[in-house]
Chains A and B, each alone.
Chain A
């Protein structure tokens, strides 16, 4: 088990994985201080736009707000590097929508010096790589980075501790008075970790943690450890 470290701000939660100190933040991301990297998974940019293109009336705003939340997390952690663990764009129609591209370009202009790495996920393979002008480095999984191996779909790796997304994990926490809440969560296992989905217009899937997993739920503006 990782030793608790000092929180960056109330609501953040610092843990050690693979010998590396990282911070789980309630924006649904991991901050890796040693290399000043923010790690997120499953952004699904342009998902609502994909629906609109198919004649499903959904209001605009989800991708723009997700971008603002991403900017906020980058700013307050001071990250210089952004690591995307797959499923950046939801689908091709949404990726090509002018509205989505405009919002992304505006966001990118706010972070001109940011290094961005995308590890392709299943959606990226169909939606296509991000536009070249965003300057995103795109690689296939697995991608080695320090003590970690970066992936989209979780799998054990013989070489290193895996960081992945794809599952959109959530768990149901129960308490006295038959209270219960379904919350997105981080799953930290012995050989790998799964991040919650970053995109707000994405679903969650209830997962069954292994006995050796550490589970941290995102409840509003706080990351909270759930004892097994």
Chain B
């Protein structure tokens, strides 16, 4: 150990620091008594070791230097130093790994060693711990030790060892994390002198590397679910993965509750088909349903029983402090609506206090606003702040991350784009702008701070409206009660199964029985009935079912029982369409001088005229023109007046937090204001109580008022926006059954509004069972159709199932003849193939994921068991105000379209004066068909 250069000391932890006072609890013993038995964890150590030996023998062929050494990927320069390290490592694999930790000033945590042991015993599992606490090396060292142990007897000389072919796949949800992961994984490989290659393959990988990887994959490949699916479409897929030992899925909590998670499940099933002894390890943040997270990752065995696996608890932060900033005087505090940047001075003061600070926002537009404001604040560090969000060009994000790591940036304003990450430097202080909306998010963001020995994790919330003070107080209460959200896995999405089926048809082909049994080993499709599988096969081969095959259609062809794709254009389009992410049509933002700044939605650009100024990536820009799917800009001379909007998913209050909010409102009703935030918001809540009421936990408050806009009904179940959208559509539908009426609907986390030109028969509706949980089976789909919600959800389904083609990358080739909006396609299906299962899936997705049907049902049961209070109010109350200004609205009508339009137009025909223009105009927006 003489010539080893001083190890770089990363800012994140590799293992247990060899200094006292770590802020983390290292669970001793690492397994908690309360954790559910896996059937294995409780085995005596003797038995486990015996099984280790038994399992290790048949399943791990020695990874001795293969004969094909000339064809291997280029090996990093093999120096004398590396050879010396390799010699030591081969002589004593376990000792070398321990020594490597020691060289970096750490020693392995108990949970890390437990994972290595399980891995070496041939087991799979899930590791959960806070970000940056050594999960990566917990999963990584097992494979290294295994190779060293197996290779040692076969290695005659440590020189000129060829890199083994692909052994480890490391799946990461964000391309942005791949580079950090690669660096983290490569460090011990280099220091231990292993002949392994560690490479990345994502959408960002340069063409040269990709083409090299075509012939040979590295020993360890870091990739995304989409790039993994693409590898599976190669006809050589089986050979590519022939030596695969382990798949590690990083940030599994981010993937598991989405279709990307199911995409990963399907890919894992395929890989297990190639390699039955494959081990799978997931890395996750703490969740409310960790067992489900593990079972979803590992899938089921052919008998349908969950595959066994470990659940290993890593390090969790000991203490999290939640506090908040409030305006100095209540008079400056708008009683409702947006506070906006009114708290800027306090935010500046908070950044002044600490060292490096992360300012988290919930949306990219808010991040842009706060970045601008902080930059102009006149603070001493105003020129040392950065902006980080998902639409900013990679290079700019990299330089912000580097600035944070290197200490040149004092403060970074960011979105969830910085929620994840292996190599992430802890900061001194974390601010959260706006309600955290979920307890888990608050924990995760707070975990970015306080890694210093002896420090606590602390997060300071900055309310964006007065009522968000209630959210903050509720979040603290829920956190103290240990209420962390569960993330439900996605069940059986047929659009994705159709996509996967075409992928496998490309990747060497399949027979029906074989693939059916394979996909049934995933958690998502474990109950896939034979008729749905038959439907999928019909869909990809004939379009419709046997008797109603679509003319002139073929995507997958069946020859002698083997399904394959034979048309190369279909193959190309499929490869370009793999994935489940539906993005708004977006344009690249570029300076006319050439530099790329990021991406922006077409809908925003469509509203700009040349010369208009807007802020993007923290820079004031002047819009020049759109050409070649690029928005050309130049640096603006004057101040910008517009901030782009990105239509990313709006966060919704989690069930845990919603319950805590209802409790806080009930406390306020009883005059209990114990939390500091509750004391601040007290005047607003007392105003609400004076004008109307504060709802009790067993009470549904309904307010009725009239304005120039029409007749308003406000309902406050306080169940989160998604449930409220469903309830709004359901209630509007049920009321509209009593008489022809048209509603426009608005919903937020506290309640929803039904607005109509005429008074709604609310009393009759309440008597007639408006809140009843009966007939939901009929009423909910009917109300979804009335509000066109399924039609909108169909966009994602159509995209994943290959009905919407988003075009060829780059310019040159156009797919204009294949452009149609998902709404049009939905209408065609609804009319000409109404039994199409993709339509049912769109409905199911709205119900289960968007509206959280079970939560909707539970809410109705809760509401119908309680009491309803209908209050007539003179003007909108504090609770109503935010709803009344919300312009994003759904509509439900029981009038005939022609009658409805005649009524809309009628007042204008009477009033000759220059009334409000009745034809809304929007240049070039919303085009959804070819000209």
Interface residues of A (CB under 8 A from B): 11, 47-62, 65, 90-91, 97-99, 122-123, 166-168, 170-183, 197, 200-209, 215, 217, 219-222, 224-228
Contact = CB atoms under 8 A, between A and B. Distances in A.
Interface string B546-576: 0010111111000000000001011001100
A177 B710 contact: yes
A176 B893 CA distance: 13
B573 A54 contact: yes
Given A55-B567, A59-B550, A205-B924, A179 B900 contact: yes
B77 interface: no
B919 A90 contact: no
Contacts of B817: 50, 54, 90-91
B931 A219 contact: no
Contacts of A122: 931
7 contacts: A52-B552, A56-B818, A122-B931, A168-B929, A203-B824, A215-B919, A219-B901
Contacts of B710: 176-178
B930 interface: yes
Contacts of B821: 203
Contacts of A175: 757, 903-905, 907, 918
Contact of A56 (B803, B889, B898, B909): B803
A91 B816 CA distance: 10
Contacts of B903: 175-176
Contacts of A200: 827
- 6 closest Cβ contacts across the A-B interface? A203-B929, A175-B904, A203-B928, A177-B710, A177-B757, A99-B551
Given A178-B709, A181-B904, A57 B552 contact: no
Contacts of A224: 898, 901-902, 905
A172 B919 CA distance: 6
Contacts of B544: 57, 59
Interface string B739-763: 0001110000000000111100000
Nearest to A49: B552
Q: How large is the interface on B (under 10, 10 to 19, 20 to 34, 35 or more residues)?
A: 35 or more
B79 interface: no
A177 B551 contact: no
Contacts of B905: 173, 175, 224-227
A180 B891 contact: yes
B51 interface: no
Contacts of A227: 905, 908-909, 918
A174 B898 contact: no
A123 B930 CA distance: 9
In the complex, which of the residues A57, A183, A202, A228 has the most CB atoms of chain B within 10 Å of its own CB atom?
A: A57
B754 to A, nearest CB: 10
B925 interface: yes
Contacts of A60: 550-551, 832
B908 A220 contact: no
B818 A50 contact: yes
Nearest to B893: A179
Nearest to B746: A178
Interface string B813-825: 0000110110011
Interface string B790-811: 0000000000011101000000
A179 B573 contact: no
A173 B918 contact: yes
A178 to B, nearest CB: 4
Given A55-B553, A201-B820, A222-B898, A178 B930 contact: no
B805 A56 contact: yes
Interface string B860-899: 0000000000000000000000000000010101001110
Contact of B742 (A54, A170, A171, A179): A179
Contact of B931 (A61, A91, A167, A206): A167
Given A97-B552, A98-B552, A205-B926, A59 B836 contact: yes
A209 B891 CA distance: 25
Given A204-B928, A205-B926, A205-B927, A51 B551 contact: no
Contacts of B929: 168, 197, 202-205
B573 A98 contact: no
A94 B539 CA distance: 20
A179 B891 contact: yes
B833 interface: yes
Given A59-B829, A59-B833, A203-B929, A209 B553 contact: no
Contacts of A52: 543, 550-553
Nearest to B816: A91
A221 B897 CA distance: 9
B637 interface: no
Contacts of B711: 177
Contact of B919 (A55, A57, A228): A228
Given A57-B543, A176-B710, A177-B755, A206 B900 contact: no
B296 to A, nearest CB: 29
Contacts of B909: 227
B803 A55 contact: no
Interface string B569-592: 110011000000000000000000
B886 to A, nearest CB: 10
Contact of A221 (B554, B898, B926, B927): B898
A219 B896 CA distance: 9
B103 to A, nearest CB: 56
A203 B893 CA distance: 23
A209 B919 contact: yes
B9 interface: no
Contacts of B805: 54, 56
Contacts of A11: 898
Nearest to B805: A56
Contacts of A202: 824, 929-930
Given A55-B574, A172-B920, A219-B902, 18 more contacts: A51-B820, A52-B543, A53-B552, A56-B805, A57-B550, A57-B803, A59-B544, A60-B550, A62-B828, A62-B832, A122-B931, A123-B930, A178-B744, A178-B755, A179-B757, A206-B920, A220-B897, A227-B918
B921 interface: yes
Contacts of B803: 56-58
Nearest to A51: B818
Contacts of A54: 569-570, 573, 805, 817-818
B898 A220 contact: yes
Contacts of A180: 744, 891, 920
A91 B921 CA distance: 31
B922 A48 contact: no
Nearest to B921: A208
B923 interface: yes
B627 interface: no
B897 A177 contact: no
B831 interface: yes
Contacts of B543: 52, 57-59
Nearest to A167: B931
A127 to B, nearest CB: 9
A215 B567 CA distance: 47
Nearest to B836: A59
A53 B551 CA distance: 9
Interface string B18-53: 000000000000000000000000000000000000
A202 to B, nearest CB: 5
Nearest to B903: A175
B578 to A, nearest CB: 14
Given A122-B931, A208-B921, A226-B918, A58 B825 contact: yes
A57 B787 CA distance: 26
A172 B833 contact: no
A39 to B, nearest CB: 18
Contacts of B548: 59
Contacts of A55: 553-555, 567, 569-570, 573-574, 802
Contacts of A90: 817, 930
A4 B917 CA distance: 23
A167 B551 CA distance: 30
Given A59-B543, A197-B929, A176 B757 contact: yes
